[in-house]
Structure formats: C-alpha cells, structure tokens
Structure 1
Amino acid sequence: MEQSYKEERFMFEAEGYRLPAVLSLPQGQVVKWSILLLPGSMANDVDGNYPGIPMRPHMYADLARQLAGHGHAVLRYAKYGEGTGAEIVDEQQVKAHRFFARQRYIAEAAVGKLRAMVPQAKGLALAGHSEGSVHAMLIEQQSASGIDALISLSGPALRYMDLFIYKAQAMAKEQGEIIDFGAFKVNARNYIRAFELMRAGEPFTEEIKADPTMEFFVKSWDPANPLAQDGQQYMRDYDAIDPCSEIARVTSPVLIVQGGMDESGVHADNGERLYQARHTIYPETTQLAFFPDLQHFYKRVQPGVSWQETQAMSEETDSRVSEAISTWLDGLND
C-alpha cells in the first residue's frame, strides 16, 4: 500500500546559481532508495513546468511525489530561466563552464546534497529526463560518483542534431519538399543542411539565407548575435555526445523508460535503441519499460491527438511509470 509523503523546500547553490529545490520523502516508512531527478533541456521550475513557453506538465513533481509514496526519497530542482525562481549569485562562477557542461556540474553537486540529506538510503539512483539522461550517463561513469542505478526517462538515443535531421527526413518522405511542423513550415532540404552546417561550425549558405521559410532560424542562429553563438555552442556540445555509446559504458543497472507517443525531439524508437545498445553488453542489468500510449512527459495520449495538443497536456503523470521505477529499484535490493 502506498504511503503519504512530505516535502522539504530549500534553495540549492551550484555553479554560481541559487536554485529552488524540493526533497520529497516517504512518511511513515523507512526510506528505500534516494533518487535525483535531472531535468531536461529547457528552463523549468522546480515542479517541471516551463514558464517561458508556457507549458505545465509538472512531471518532476508528480514523479517525485509518487515515488515518495512508494518509499523513496526524491530530490528535484529548477533550472535557470525566466519565471523558474532560479537566480545568479556569482557571475564569474557561472562562466566557469559552458552551458551544456554546466548542467552536469550542477547535477553532481545535487548528488552530494542528496547524499548528505538522506544518508540512510539503501542506494542512490540518477533519473535523467530527456537531456538530463545524457548527463546522468556521463556522471555515472566517473569512478568516484558512487551511483548505484541509472534511469533514462524519455532519453535521446541519437546525437542532438540528428534528432532534428532524422525527423525532418522522415517527414519529407511523407510530405515532400515543404514539411509542416504545425507551428511552422520549412524547406526540408535547407532545414537539414542548416543543422549539418552548425555541426561543422560553418556559416549558412546564401540559399539558406534567402529561403523565406528559414528566416526565423537564420535570425535566431545569426553568428553575429552573441546569444545565437551561445546557443550554437550548446547545440554543438550536446551534439558531440553519442547517447548509445555512452549508455553502453554505464556499469550500474539501467532502466530505460519510454513512451510510444513521444514526438518531442526524442522519438518513440529511442528507448529501443538505447536498450539494444546497453543490452548487448550488459543483458542482465538492462531493462526497458515501454508505454505505447504515453508521450514525452508520460501523459496518456488518445488516438488522433496532434503533437501540439500532447505538449499542452497537464494531467497528472501516469502512475504506471513511478510504479515501474519503484518495482525495478526494489528488485535491485533483492
């Protein structure tokens, strides 16, 4: 029977930021595992909402509370951005690392915080969502990390820019030269070529610059814009990592959780790709939990619902996910 939970809210400092954080704890039972939730690529508040969009899946709060109800201690935290409650307290420290790597250092500091707050836990697991799963893979590989298990939540199996390239290629086969993402239409050839050029660190061609469907992207990624330079550097840093290669280097037990209706950059087949990459080397400690009807934030999707509509879903995260995670963790202690 599930237990109730209690939560401790505090401000957590790392990499020059002060970040809102919440520790969810089981009430009325001994703590089993401690779990750190690593957030994905966008700026989220402590519950996993995205004020800058706005989008309110509150997945991190849902998962943390559900897992606490199963007897686990879960730490979650916000990422810096407008409306997230996070603030910069040391500009120089913030600049010590580039943005992509900075997220890993923040997560490492959070691991230390969680150990200190819940020293009695039977083990410590990293649960990285989307981009956070890639950081979790890299942290686990450090000999001093002492991570006991890794959970990939809607994690990518492809290099960052390949996520966009492969999606556009698939859509072009169905739709032709101009592909419709719903919020915008774009010339598939120029869109794909733009990502290839960014990967190589080369300027856009005159054809791309003159393409009216690429106007937004050209302005957003203009090398003369300092913010665009930072964004492209982030994308190249992320793109340099092959998640399938990295997950194969993780020695702790791995659970891969994937929704079959995931179209948020990460695609539904990414879970199977990650599973096969790791299962080939560690078959006994690799498990896949696949939910055909769930999207990127593990909301149940009805047939015929558009991708844009799935992004706006705000109901509670499906409890089957936390149940699968808890059952898997409990089995590691048997």
Structure 2
Amino acid sequence: MLNRNTKLSVVLALATCTFLSYPAYADDNFSIQRLYGSDRYETCSNIANYFQQGQLDSVIVASEEQFADALSAGCLQELGNSPIMLVGKNIKSSDKTLGYIENHLKKEGTIYILGGEASVNSEFERYFKEKGFNKIIRLGGKDRYETNVKAVSKADVKEGTPVIVANGDNFPDALSIASIASYKGYPVFITPSGNLPNEIEEKIKEIKPSNIYVIGGISSVSSNIESKLKEVSQNVVRIEGKDRYETSINICKYFNKDLKNLVVASGKNFPDALSGIALSAKFKAPIVITDEGNVEELKSYVQNQKVNKIVILGGENMISKNVEDILNPLSLKSKAEDFMTCLLNKKIDEAMEGLSTDLKSGYGESIMKSSFSSMSFKGMDTKPLDIKQEKLPLGNMVTLTYKVEGLPTNLDIKIKYDNDGKVYNFTSEAAPVESNYRLPTYVNIDNFTEKNVAIGDEKYKLPGVLSIPKGKGPFPAVVLVHGSGANDMDETYGDTKVFKDISAGLASKGIAVLRYNKRSNEYPSLTAIDTKLDLNKETVNDAVDAVKLLKKTKEIDSSKVFVLGHSQGAMLTPTILKDCGNSGAAGGIMMAGPVDFLDTLLEQSKYLNSIGYMDEDNLKYIQNLYDLVKNNKDFPKNISENTIIFHAYPYYWLSVKNSTQAQDAVDIKNPLLILQGKRDYQVAASNLEKWKNILKDKQNVEYNSYDKLNHFFIEGEGKMTPEEYGKGNVPKYVIDDIVSWISKYSK
C-alpha cells in the first residue's frame, strides 16, 4: 500500500529537506590542491615546481624503485631546502625529472645522490657533469642501512636530538613519519623488523637521543629492537595502529597538536609520497597515507584539526576524486555526508542551516524542526557505502548509498543542491542492485512476444512493454497499475518483480498484458515539484490512457480490456474503471486494495511499532499526519501549497482525503475480482471484509484470500515483517485464479 520500503518510508519521514553547515571552515580559509602528472616522473617534477619555482641551491636524487634510500632524504633538508627528484633506471626514462633539475638548479648548486650505483647508476653522474653541474655528492653504502647512516652523518645531527626508528623493508610507516622528522630535524633510521643493524645502532648511540620514536607495531619493529633502544634512551615511545593507515593518523595526532596543513598520498604506491617529503616538510605538514577504506577516519581528523590546506599527491588513479571530495569540507559530497551525520545524531539546528531560500519559505521553522526530529534511521549504517555526484539542470545531486539491516537492498539518499550550494530536495529510494530475479517456472516464454510501447499523447510519455500471446487474436488484455511509490513497470523490489511475474504468467495463458513505468518513476523531478500533483495525475489518468491504447491495438479485443491494480493501484481501480466510461474497461482486479489510504497508513504504522520496526516518534508523526489530514475538516487551510508533508504536497493529501474509490466501486457496473493475502501487514486482511460489506449488494464481485501470501502476493511463514520482502515469485495458483476470472468475463 505504502512505499514498499516500509521501514524506510517511515524512517525517512520527510522527503525534501537537508543541511549545509561548516562553521569550522570558511570558503576563503580552506583550499585543496592536487599535484600530479602523466607519470611518476612528471608528478615528481610538478611537486618540485610547487615546492619552489625559482633557482635552487641543491636537489636530492634518489631511485624511484629504492624507497629506503629516499626516506633518508629528510634529514638532508637541514643542508638547504632540497626537493627530492626521483629517477628511473636510465636517462631516457627520467627525462622529465632531469629537465626540471636542468632548469631550476644553479650551476654551482649541489646534487646529492642517495644510494650506491645499484640504485642510481653512474650514468646519471656523467650526465650531470656534462650539463655543467660539478658539485655532486653521492651518499651510498653497501646496502640501504649504510646509506641511511651516511645520509644522517652528512646532516651532522646534534647530540641529544630525538630520532625515529622505522621499518626499512616496507615503506608506509617510515613514509608517514618522514616529513615530520624532516621539519623537526629528527633523523630517520631504518631497520629490518627483527634485528637492529650494527651501523644503525652505533650511529644512534653516537647521537645520544633524548627521545626515540619507534614507528609501527612489533611486526614492523620487533620488541627485541625496542629493548635495545631502551638501553640507549630511557624515553622510547612506540606509535602504531591496527594498520598502516591508522598508524599514519596516529603519527599525526602525536606530533601535530595544531595542524593547519596536510599532505595526502596513496598508501599503496610510494613514489608520489617520496617526492612530497621535502614539500611537506616546507609546509610543516605531515604526509598522511590513505585509500578508499580509511578516508572517513582521515576526514574526521581533518575536521577536528580545522586544517586550512590539503595537498594531494598523485592523480586520480592513485587517490580517487571521491576521496578528494570527501576530504574537502566545501565539496557537496562532504556536505551531504555531514548532513546525514547531523540527522543521525539529531543535530537539528545544524541541519536547518543549509536549506535554500525557496525551501525555507515553503516550510515554517517549527514544522521543519519537527520533521527532522521525527526521522528515525533504525538499522541504517552510520557511514555510506558509496557517494556519487552528478550534474543536474538546476544544480547537482549527491547520492549516498547506505546498508540497512533487514532490507534486501541498500538505500540511496539523494540530496539535491542548487547552484549556490543550498539544498532544495531530499529523497530516498532503494538502491539499484544486480538482480537475482528469475521468471517463475510456470512461465512459458515461447508462448508470447513483447514489444515496447508509449503511454499517453502528451509531451511526457511513459515507456511500457506489451506482452502479446502468440497465435490467433484478438486477445483479452490487462493493464497493470502500480502501488504507491516511484515504481518501475515490473514493480521491482529487491529480487522480486510482481508485475513481471503476473505479466509473463498471464501472457503464457493467452492474455495480453501492458505494464509501464509509473509517472513518479519516469519523471521524478517533475512530480517532485508539482504542487498540484494528485491521485489522478500520479496514477488514474495514465491507467486510463493505457486502457485506451490497448483498445486501439490490433492484437487486442477492445471489449475485453481489464484493469489489475496492486495496493494503491488496487484502491484506485474502481475510479479508473469509472473514468474509462461505460465502453471502457471490461472489469477490474484488485490485489491488496485498501478501502481507505489514511486508515491503512496508520494501521500499518501501529503494526510496525508493535514489532519494533518503528519508534514512538515516527508513530506519533504518522498519527499527527492522520489527524492533520483526515480529522481536520479545514485541511489544508492555512498551509502553504508548497509545504511537503510526508513526501507530498497538501494538494495530494487533499486528493487522498477526498478519494471516492469506495463509492465508485458501488456505482460502477464492471465486475470485480478482489484478492487479499492473509499475511499482509501493509494492507491488513480486514480490508477484504470491509470490501465485502461495502459491495454486499453487488452480484458481480468475487473474493479470494490466501493464507500464506504477503503484500507482494508471495508466500511466507511466521511473523509478518519487512524482512521477508525482496525474494520469491507470485505463485501459480494466483495466476490461475486471475486467468479463470478473466476467462469467465471474456466469453
């Protein structure tokens, strides 16, 4: 009866409001920039150019394949701000890096080469000399550890200076600390995970550090090494996390109490980050490594620190645009996620700040706050699975996809922003998923064909599919009319397609079927802004047009066109038959049709509350809606026409209040078949008895009820809950009952 996201239709009790509030950030105080190139060498050059565009006194050259050597570069910053330039195996592969050096290094400047000739071969030294650079200093040893010691020795570290110890075989931990160590003047010593190399140990002892910081867990730097270090200094601190990403953030938290700048690099590939060590040191900004998995934790850190500037190293193949948008507090993706966080945490005042002027004028402040307060997100994860943004004619839409416990599909929250970055619409719907739907076994696809059709004669036609039996016609036909919500032509929900089951089942038995996308599905934006949308515009008129189309289709017997409505569509079937006129439809089939929409809405909500699927606040909201519309004889007096009340404008609710389906069912002469599942909590089985009482004087009405069927006419067992939705098919016996009844009135 209601939007079949039962849990969600009540969970998200308001469909057009959201929030935009960033008190910690002002547009002119925050910036985010990406430094990248077509490859790692161009990225390296662009980072260096950003570091300093003028002439340089020195540069550091290291292998892009031997990260350990480059990590030793941090301590050399004391000798003069020197960008780190990565080179490949030969001159040809390194032309972009070498081009930068030629254009920016003074001829009398110094080139520090880190690593032995196995890392940076002698070809590069000859090349630099040929270009007129004669001050070349190679800091290399027999292995990475000896190279590390030589680099630290060149920096002439003062006695008592704190030192860093990190794993030299795996880059992430050492990389995260390198920039901090560089601008603080702390040398970084690298080590295997198990034992501290002798030359490293001796150099640390020589420095006599006041503090030693061990980076990473014991799998990176063993407890044995930590014990040795404690013999050198009483102040040994280990900084670690559950993984490289948490370690990276924990390093920042430990060393940066008043962080304003941040450099972000990929945690899965190191060259871009190595190139950025000198840059981050110049900005006094730590390098934080990230991926798609830890971006939320990083975002939280950025917000808590009130970071003013973020520099991203590498292209979108390294750090996606999605990560950039989430980290940028001024991006719509970030704003949309923060809006949802405010709703989840009931920060109503903050949620009011970002509404567009038009939206605010359509609501009163008190109504908006009440609506926000009444929302419940029971079962919904606090963090989205995905965030996407797309351009709209009136601005942009951000879609956040959430997992919801107990639902067969994820939930898409769609937040629409105008061109000023203000919210003008907020809706929810089931997220599209790869379907496991299968046609019922009783369907014989060889018995019918399908063709595309269009419903309506006006500008905004509705796409449909007409299933036509094979053989000699003309055939009896059925128009399928949807329940509430923005249904597609199949009434898809999870892995169920109620209308596709019925269509294929009837077509297999010689009955043509027309199904089409509902207007609110095909044109959601137009229906969302139509303050005069009512039941006729939403459902009735299109169904009448569908009947007209069938009656003039050559394969169809124009005297044997029936209307089959489900849920709200069933409720409106008598009205559709009336509007088709005396020579219109031959009869109607009502599947789970409520006698009264508002009564059913309240009954359904009370049931969901009783089984724990709706909280008291939401139930109260529905009760208030019921009282406002049904029990208020003056409704909608004194309510602005563009005020949204539970997904719809007042004009729509007035049409619901004044709908005439019960009287229409009495007045029409068409035969009716009324079907009801006894396990239906959305449209309770008691509605069948109500219809029997209303139509007790009519002779051409038949009734069938089914013990095992729920609202979707799919079998289930036990307590009726939303969790059983989303799987199964309409049983053959329901199709057989419909076929039998249509055959009776098609003779």
Q: Which bracket does the TM-score occupy, shorter chain normalised?
A: 0.7 to 0.9
Letter in 1 for 2:718: P
Change (3 A) 1:135 1:287: same
Of the three residues 718, 725, 736, the one matched with 1:311 is: 725
8 A Cα contact 1:299 1:315, kept in partner: yes
**Residues 7-41 of structure 1, C-alpha deviation per residue, up to 9 Å, x if partnerless?**
11234345653322010111235454111111111
The equivalent of 2:628 in structure 1 is 197
Instruction: Describe the superposition over 1:118-177 as per-residue Cα deviations: whole angstroms up to 9, x where unpaired.
Output: 4542511111111112332112224355221111111112x21111334456x59xxxxx
Match of 2:490 among 41, 44, 47: 47
Q: Secondary structure at the match of 2:466?
A: strand
Cα distance in structure 2, aligned partners of 1:12 and 1:308:
32
Q: Does 1:21 align with 2:458?
A: no
In structure 2, distance between residues paired with 1:45 and 1:328: 26
- Give the match's secondary structure for 1:328: helix
2:574 aligned with 1:140, yes or no? no
Is the partner of 1:117 in helix, strand or coil? coil
How far apart in 2 are the matches of 1:118 and 1:185?
Answer: 53
Deviations 1:270-307 (Å, cap 9, x if unpaired)?
123213322x2212x11012111111111001224x41
Scaled by the length of structure 2, the TM-score of the pair is 0.36
Alpha-carbon distance in structure 2 between the residues aligned to 1:125 and 1:20:
20
Greater mean alpha carbon deviation, residues 243-252 or residues 102-111? 243-252
Q: Which residue of 2 aligns with 1:281?
A: 697
Tell me whether 1:272 sits opposite 2:686 in the alignment. Answer: no
Amino acid at match of 1:100: L
- Does the 8 A contact of 1:26 with 1:71 survive in 2? yes
Task: Determine the C-alpha separation between the residues in 2 that align with 1:126 and 1:246.
Answer: 14
Contact 1:34–1:118 (CA under 8 A) maintained in structure 2: no
User: 2:567 touches 2:591 (CA, 8 Å); kept in 1?
Assistant: yes
For residues 175-202 of structure 1, give each alpha carbon's deviation from its aligned partner in whole angstroms, at most 9, with x where no partner exists.
Answer: xxxx446432115566424311233236
Give the equivalent residue in structure 1 for 2:501.
62
Q: How does 1:122-161 map to 2 (within 5 A)?
A: 123-142=560-579, 143-157=581-595, 159-161=596-598
**2:653 pairs with one of 219, 235, 247:** 235
CA distance in 1, matches of 2:560, 2:540: 20
What is the DSSP-based 3-state SS (H/G/I as helix, E as strand, rest coil) of the residue aligned with 1:301?
coil
For 1:251, the equivalent position in structure 2 comes to 669
User: Does 1:261 find its partner at 2:710?
Assistant: no
Bigger relative CO (Cα 8 Å, ≥ 6 apart)? 1
The CA RMSD measured in Å over matched residues stands at 3.2
- Could you say what secondary structure the match of 1:127 adopts? strand
For 2:545, give the aligned amino acid.
A
User: Which residue type is aligned with residue 308 of structure 1?
Assistant: P
- CA distance in 2 between counterparts of 1:12 and 1:333 reads 24
The 3 A distance-change label for structure 1 pair 156 and 2 is: same
Distance 1:124 1:168, change over 3 A: same
Q: 1:45 to 1:223 in 2, by over 3 A?
A: same
The amino acid across from 2:455 in the alignment is: F
Q: 1:324 maps to which residue?
A: 737
Q: Could you tell me which amino acid in structure 1 is paired with residue 670 of structure 2?
A: S
Distance 2:615 2:728 in 1: 29
**Does the 8 A contact of 2:550 with 2:556 survive in 1?**
no
Residue pair 1:47, 1:59 contacting (<8 A) in 2 also:
yes
- CA deviations 1:33-81 (Å, max 9, x no partner) are 111111111111121115xxxx443101110110011110110111134
What count of residue pairs does the alignment treat as equivalent?
295
Q: How does 1:93-172 map to 2 (within 5 A)?
A: 98-102=533-537, 103-118=539-554, 120-121=556-557, 123-142=560-579, 143-157=581-595, 159-167=596-604, 171=607
Shift in alpha-carbon separation, 1:96–1:116, aligned structure 2, 3 A: farther
Identity, in percent, stands at 22
Distance 1:88 1:130, change over 3 A: closer
Letter in 2 for 1:296: H
Cα gap change, 1:18 to 1:332, in 2 (>3 Å): closer
- Unaligned runs of 5+ residues in structure 1 are 173-178, 204-221
Please give the per-residue CA displacement for 1:228-278, whole angstroms capped at 9, x wherever unaligned: 3844432331232254333112211110011111112x1112123213322
What is aligned with 2:706? Answer: 291
Equivalent residue, structure 2, for 1:75: 514
Rg larger in structure: 2
Give the conservation status (yes or no) of the 8 Å contact 2:495–2:728.
no
Question: Closer, same or farther in 2 for the Cα pair 1:248/1:224, shift >3 Å?
Answer: closer
In 1, Cα distance between equivalents of 2:598 and 2:578: 24
Letter in 2 for 1:161: L
With the length of structure 1 as denominator, give the TM-score of the two structures.
0.77
